[in-house]
Structures are given as C-alpha cells and as structure tokens.
Amino acid sequence: MRNVLVDPDWDSFTNDNTEYDAWNELKKKIHQLDTKAPDYFPQEGEVWMSSLGKNIGFEQNGSGTNFSRPVLVIKKFNNHMFWCASLSTKQKKFDFYYNFTDHNGEKVSVILAQLKLVSVKRLKRKLYEIQPNTFKEIKERLRGFLI
C-alpha cells in the first residue's frame, strides 16, 4: 500500500484548490485579529455563526465568502477558546446526530461527532440560544461518546 503523505501521486490531484487558497487567505486575516480579549464572550448553549473554513474529508465545511456555518457552543474554557459542534439543516437518524427544532421552527441537527476546539476569533455573530432542556440532552448524549 502506498503512503500518500510520503509519496503522493500529484497528478491525481485534479480538484480546484481555489477554495482552499481563499480560506487560507481569510484564515491569515482572522489569525491577525487583535489578540486582546474580545468584547463578546460566547456562552454554553448559544449558537453562533463561525468561520470554520474549507476542510478535508468528511469534516464540516463553512460556506460562502466567510466559510461560515452555525455552531453550538458546548464547553467554554476561557474567553478565548471553546468546544463547539457544527449544526446542519439535514436531520439524520444516526447516533451522532442530535435532531431538534430551533426557535424559528426549523429542523436542525447538532453533529455530535464534529466536536472541535475553536478560537473566539472565528465567531461572526450570535444567532440564538438552545433551550436549557435541549442543551442538557445534547450534553448527555455527548458524554456517552466521550466515555
């Protein structure tokens, strides 16, 4: 078996890398944002639009020019970083999807397998807060995956 990391077949890479290049440029700008504490502090149970980027494999991508998608703040560690999970409008019947209806009556899923450590620099705007009982169920389901 060939190790693609050591001996890549560069001719097989025919995908357009334009989105990766655009994301890399945006990521540099996000990284250079002011390093002092932000004037907003995400709280557990809040849904924020976040620049997650152009990713690889089955990792959730952001979309649009900011490569953004909604994420649920799962665990805040400090005012600079937190765990989040990507949200999707596609509900699936998998153990790692938590399906619910948001405050606007939209069907949404938290993709529990997409837990990620994120900097607050990636946050764009707060969208809404999850109902406390729903957030408690989400955390209980996540505990089952982590233990």
Of residues 65 and 61, which shows the higher confidence score?
65
Look up the domain containing 41 and give its range: 14-146
pLDDT one-digit tens code per residue, 67-124? 678 999 999 999 889 999 999 989 999 989 999 999 999 999 999 998 999 888 888 8
The reported pTM is: 0.77
pLDDT one-digit tens code per residue, 29-60? 766 776 665 667 899 999 999 887 666 665 56
What distance in Å separates the CA atoms of residue 50 and residue 67, rounded to the nearest whole number?
8
9 part of a folded domain: no
8 part of a folded domain: no
2 part of a folded domain: no
Strand pairing partners for 88? Answer: 109
Q: What is the mean pLDDT of residues 133-138?
A: 96
What distance in Å separates the CA atoms of residue 48 and residue 40, rounded to the nearest whole number?
11
Q: Give the Å distances, CA to CA, from 101 to 92, 108, 144.
A: 13, 6, 22
CATH, residue 33: 2.30.30.110
State the total domains in the chain: 1
132 part of a folded domain: yes
6 part of a folded domain: no
